[in-house]
Amino acid sequence: MDIFHDNAMLAGVRQMLGAFAKQYIRPVAMKHDREESMPWALMKQAQAFGMTQTAVVDGRKALTGKDDEEGANKPKSQSRLGVVGSEELAYGCAGVCLAIGGSGLAASPVARMGTEEQKQEFRRLLKGDDEHGHIKVAAMALSEPSTGSDISSLSTTARPDGDYFVINGHKQWITNGQSAAAYVVWAQTDPSAGRAGVRGFLVARGTPGLIPGRKEHKLGIRASETAQVHFEDCRVHKDMMLGIGASSEGLGDTKKMLDSTRPMVGAQAVGIARAAFDYLVERVQGGTIHGTALKQHQHVAFELAEMEMEIQAARALVHKSAWMADHGQDNVRMASIAKAYGAKVAQDVTARALTLLGEEALEPDHPVEKWYRDAKIYDIFEGTGQIQRRIIARSILGVNAT
């Protein structure tokens, strides 16, 4: 089991993205938080560094320049790579990390269930720049105003009509929802079939009836756009339905999509915690209280020790869950553990850091205060903390407790 060290490829990615985070993300993070704006220039730069919006569809070669190892060594997924990269980018700024990587959420079902034609279409839609000169991004639209945790009661419908499906419904809190060039939208194709009737559709921006809606003002991750998306008699060709043929498990497809991204989400939370931790260490190294060095006080030093324990534990869980995915092992329980624990640690470490920093962290634009706000989302999106515990508990006890 190699979860305890980065192999050369992972170490390289960690180093490169860590440097990118420090050099390029950090300097602009506060501005995008304040202005609640997408970091388009930086996203273009990231693309030039190889962080393409279609990376998840394109596979490892696009990310590392190397082909997948073949035979027994061939990984079943790119989760280890994903967690290393996610942690480093979120170390720079979680909002920017999501702006750069948010398309991956839409890319993941296309990569797993898409036909070659659909993958081509996804690449085509994300090629080049838009009319503002921005790179193109994708959105994954599952949640609805009245359906977040309980995705089995989706109310968006896709009614078959000849060669087309006609989509109607409202989607809520969609990352890249306003700006996306490509949307993967989940809808009920056959209400009588229940969960089995749910399908994902690849829909191009500009398709009549696809109406990007209002952008949200948020507590944190403000560099990442969150918006409503409306579908009003939006006609989509049946060839753009994901999981054509026998490979769809209906609603189960969305669960697989979320399972596969959970380690990455946990890793982002670890990145935030580490950012706050490093900031604090630096501050404690040089800081004083009434003339004595902060670092000589157990009150401070042990608090740092506590944070480090939490961060190390969270990172180990994240890597274990990713390693399991890469080795084709069922990681559902572990991915939920890693995601939920990462979220807890990110919230806890940033809160402790604010308390230790005290009044100085009341300054406007204080990075730790921003990380505290950013951390909260990790307990909400991609399955809330309660939903992760529900999954973990069900895997232990075999029933859903209420």
Partner 1 sequence: MDFALDDDQALIVQTVRRFVDKDLRAWAGDADRAAEAPGKLATVAGDLGFYLDAVPEAAGGLLDGAYAHVTRALRGLELGRGCSAMAALLECNVEPALAVARWGSDAAKAELFASLAAGGLATTGRDSRGALTLTADGDGVRVTGKIGPLPALGRASHVLLCATLDGAPVALLIATAGQRVAAQAPSAWRAAAWGTLTLEHALVPASHVVARGADPVALIGAWYRSSLAARAAGVAVAAMEHARHYASERVQFGQPIGRFESLIGLRDDALTAATAARLMALHAAWLCDRATDGASIAAAADAASRARVVAGDAVRQATVDAVQIYGGYGFVNDYPVEKLMRDARPYEQLFGDERFDRVLADPDRAGGI
Ligand X SMILES: Cc1cc2nc3c(=O)[nH]c(=O)nc-3n(C[C@H](O)[C@H](O)[C@H](O)COP(=O)(O)OP(=O)(O)OC[C@H]3O[C@@H](n4cnc5c(N)ncnc54)[C@H](O)[C@@H]3O)c2cc1C
The catalytic site residues sit at 382
**Burial annotation 27-61 (CB, 10 A radius, 16+ → b, else e):** ebbbebbeebebbbebbebbbeeebbbbbbbbebe
The residue among 1 and 396 lying less far from partner 1, judged by its C-beta, is 396
Size of the chain in residues? 402
CB distance 204 to 125 below 8 Å: yes
* Closest CB 173 distance from partner 1, rounded Å: 5
Question: What DSSP assignment string belongs to 223-255?
Answer: TS-EEEEEEEEEEEEGGGBTTTGGG--THHHHH
Q: Does 138 bind ligand X (CB under 6 A)?
A: no
Q: At what angle do helices 251-286 and 103-113 cross, to 10 degrees?
A: 140
> 231 or 277, CB closer to ligand X?
231
Between 1 and 401, CB nearer to partner 1: 401
Considering only 37, 115, 155, 384, the residue that binds ligand X (CB under 6 A) is 384
Q: How far apart are CA 132 and CA 203, in angstroms?
A: 21
Kindly give, in sequence order, each residue whose CB lies less than 8 Å from that of residue 211, ignoring residues fewer than 6 positions away.
Answer: 229, 230, 231, 232
* 204-to-117, 119, 139, 141, 184 alpha-carbon distances in Å: 14, 13, 10, 13, 9
Widest pairwise Cα distance in the chain:
79
- Min CB(102)–ligand X separation in Å: 7
386 binds ligand X (CB under 6 A): yes
Of 50 and 385, the one with the shorter C-beta distance to ligand X is 385
Provide, rounded to whole angstroms, the least separation between the CB of residue 401 and partner 1: 8
d(CA 7, CA 117): 34
- Measured from the CB atom, the residue of 84 and 105 that comes closer to ligand X is 105
Tokens coding 211: 């109406």
Complex with partner 1: residue 326 or 379, whichever CB lies closer = 379
105 binds, among ligand X, partner 1, none (CB under 5 to 8 A by kind): ligand X
Which of the ranges 25-33, 80-88, 291-299, 380-388 carries the binding residues for ligand X, by CB under 6 A?
Answer: 380-388
> What's the closest the beta carbon of residue 174 comes to ligand X, in angstroms?
5
Per-residue DSSP letter, 68: P
Chain centroid to CA 351: how far?
22
In whole angstroms, give the CA distance from residue 179 to residue 343: 27
Residue 118, both tokens: 């659909």
Binding to ligand X by residue 153, rule CB under 6 A?
Answer: no
Q: 266 and 341 in contact (C-beta within 8 Å)? A: yes
For the CB of residue 74, give the shortest distance to ligand X in the complex, in Å.
Answer: 30
Binding site for partner 1 (CB under 8 A): 143, 146-150, 153, 172-173, 216-220, 226, 287-292, 296-297, 299-300, 347, 351, 354-359, 361-366, 369-370, 372-373, 376-377, 379-381, 384-386, 389, 401-402
Min CB(245)–ligand X separation in Å: 24
How many whole angstroms separate alpha carbon 218 and alpha carbon 305? 32
Give the one residue of 204, 380, 392, 393 binding ligand X; rule: CB under 6 A: 380
223 binds ligand X (CB under 6 A): no
Among ligand X, partner 1, none, residue 291 binds (CB under 5-8 Å by kind): partner 1
Regarding 50 and contact with ligand X (CB under 6 A), the answer is no
Contact between 390 and ligand X per CB under 6 A: yes
**Distance of closest approach, residue 105 Cβ to partner 1, in angstroms:** 15
As a whole number of angstroms, the distance between CA 357 and CA 373 comes to 16
Q: Which residues bind ligand X (CB under 6 A)?
A: 105, 140-143, 148-149, 173-175, 218, 221, 226, 377, 380-382, 384, 386-387, 390
